[in-house]
Amino acid sequence: MNPILEIRELHKSYAGQPALRGIDFSVSRGQIISVLGPSGCGKSTLLQLIAGLQQPDGGEVRLRGEAVSTASKLVPPEKRNINMVFQDYALWPHMSILDNISYGLKRKKASSADIRAKVGELLRLLHLEPFAERLPAQLSGGQQQRVAIARALATQPDLLLLDEPMSNLDMRLRIEMRTELSYLLRKLGTTVFHVTHDPEEAFAMADRLVIMRSGGIDQIDRPEACYRRPATASVASLLGAGNRLAGPIAEGGAAPAIRLDGAFVAGRTASDWSARGPAEPAIALFRPDAAAWETEDARASDPGAEVAAGAEAGIADSREAGFFAAPAFNRLAARIAHSAFEGNRWRVLAETGTGDMLSLFHHEPLKAGTRGWLRFPVDETYLYPATAGSER
């Protein structure tokens, strides 16, 4: 099947500073692609180039096999058969909800019968029937968002662009709307290019993630694959692996590991790990929800507990493409520094002997000063050379 959207070696700079550096990927019909990345990574520039709001310096944007944006050609937005939902929804304030949704169909001179049928269907699908005669100012933020989406879908575009569509909603509405929107777009078979800075929104929406950093792409894959196997330290950190340990690459041993003061920390390795030599600087990242707390008494009663991950832990050398096949655990001696209530759990800060402050979640507060062990799985620990995308 030919892709709806193709991005080929796309480049864009502002005042000599690169905003996009050779972006390359495609989107198939009916796919939902979410572009995720921190502020300034280039995702909004990419969206504007696809929409035809800006022109690239090099490379091309192709829609349905036709080049619509190159350094020498720019097909205007209204001739691309794409629609866009903006962050602020951009509804006509003087028009009713019914007129807002039907606006594009009227511009295309659709018949009255077609307009009634299409708008009626969208009002029903998006639960907007009671509000058809209201003005946008008389609706909540979540209702206005649904109107903007209905208006964008009414003309049946080949591609729907979503620019941070949940950013103006409160947390409860964001959670509700991302699930509803994901369901609706799949039900309609809509092809979507979705830009966000929120990983949870991207996970809920996307068939594939495009994760960007500094104008380039760090990883393109299914959401679960990006989460389980982050390609770079930046991806791991963006997707929640906020606990960070630094040390030299450990020599020998059955598994890739870094050496800390008196311990090893083993984990899954980046693709370029094999090119690194012993003692080179590296980092280990893991998520707070992967960690658990063990008291010294509990650990002493477990005769099978590992002393520390790495060569001494006896971790089997059974891995494929740098990833472990069997579970094992890292353990670090630590002291509880602080507990903070977060509603359904406590976030606990634990300080290691090297002064690293690491987070974990617990079902109850832990008393400051308590000594014990922080335990976290090897297969949920990610190792990267310190020089390869290891910034926070």
Question: What is the pLDDT averaged over residues 251-257?
Answer: 78
* Residue 317: φ, ψ to 5°: -85, 65
The rounded distance, in Å, linking the Cα atoms of 345 and 51 is 43
Please write down the long-range contacts of 138-145, taking CB distance under 8 Å and 24 or more positions apart: 139/97, 141/168, 141/169, 141/170, 141/173, 142/169, 142/173, 142/176, 142/177, 144/89, 144/91, 145/85, 145/89, 145/169, 145/177
Report CA torsion sign: 310, 311, 314, 318.
positive
Q: Residue 362 has which token pair? A: 């617990």
The string of pLDDT tens digits covering residues 276-295 is 777 899 999 999 999 999 98
Q: HSE on the CB side for 133, CA within 13 Å?
A: 0
Per-residue pLDDT, 298: 55
Radius of gyration of the chain (CA): 25
Burial class (CB in 10 A: 0-12, 13-18, 19+), 28: middle
Burial class (CB in 10 A: 0-12, 13-18, 19+), 308: buried
The rounded distance, in Å, linking the Cα atoms of 268 and 284 is 9
pLDDT at 310 over 60: no
pLDDT at 193 over 60: yes
Burial class (CB in 10 A: 0-12, 13-18, 19+), 148: buried
Helix (H) or strand (E) holding 188: helix 171-188
Per-residue pLDDT, 321: 41
Per-residue pLDDT, 295: 87
Per-residue pLDDT, 1: 66
Question: What is the pLDDT averaged over residues 270-277?
Answer: 74
The rounded distance, in Å, linking the Cα atoms of 72 and 50 is 15
Lowest-confidence region among 21-25, 101-105, 266-270, 302-306: 302-306
60, 69 contact by CB (below 8 A)? yes
Q: Residue 216 has which token pair? A: 């380039």
pLDDT at 305 over 70: no
Per-residue pLDDT, 299: 52
Q: Which residue has the higher pLDDT, 299 or 278?
A: 278
Lowest-confidence region among 210-224, 229-243, 348-362, 378-392: 378-392
The rounded distance, in Å, linking the Cα atoms of 7 and 35 is 13
161, 193 contact by CB (below 8 A)? yes
The rounded distance, in Å, linking the Cα atoms of 331 and 261 is 13
Render 38-96 in DSSP notation, one character per residue. -TTSSHHHHHHHHHTSS--SEEEEEETTEEEE-SS-B--GGGTTEEEE-TT----TTS-
The residue count of the chain comes to 392
pLDDT tier for residue 392 given thresholds of 50, 70 and 90:
very low
Per-residue pLDDT, 297: 63
Number of neighbouring beta carbons within 10 Å of residue 99:
16
The string of pLDDT tens digits covering residues 141-158 is 888 888 999 999 999 999
The rounded distance, in Å, linking the Cα atoms of 15 and 103 is 38
pLDDT at 390 over 80: no
The pTM score is 0.86
Question: What is the pLDDT averaged over residues 21-29?
Answer: 96
Maximum Cα interatomic distance, the chain, rounded to a whole number of Å: 78
